[in-house]
């Protein structure tokens, strides 16, 4: 995960009670093949993802869509 995206998530974690799990794409050949050109990748409970140049407003929208 790039530093900018990591900082955005950390800033939102308290407000939205986020559970953040960091996975290195190069830890799995399958993940590497899927995402090597799209890093960073955020995956949400519903299976949807954000990747590449991620904006804070898009993260917030996905968080709200995935509320329980």
Q: Does domain 3-65 have CATH number 3.40.30?
A: yes
- Global pTM reads 0.83
Average pLDDT of span 46-62: 95
How do residues 21-45 score in pLDDT, each as one tens digit? 889 888 999 999 998 899 999 999 9
pLDDT at position 1: 54
- Domain ranges (residues) in the chain: 3-65
pLDDT at position 3: 82
DSSP 8-44: HHHHHHHHHT-------GGG-HHHHHHHTTS-SEEE-
- Residue 43 contacts by C-beta under 8 Å, 6 or more apart in sequence? 49
């Amino acid at each position: 995960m790039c530093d900018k995206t990591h900082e955005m998530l950390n800033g939102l974690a308290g407000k939205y009670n986020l559970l953040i799990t960091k996975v290195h794409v190069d830890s799995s050949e399958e993940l590497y093949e899927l995402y090597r050109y799209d890093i960073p990748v955020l995956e949400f409970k519903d299976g949807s993802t954000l990747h590449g140049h991620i904006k804070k407003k898009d993260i917030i929208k996905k968080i709200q869509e995935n509320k329980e």
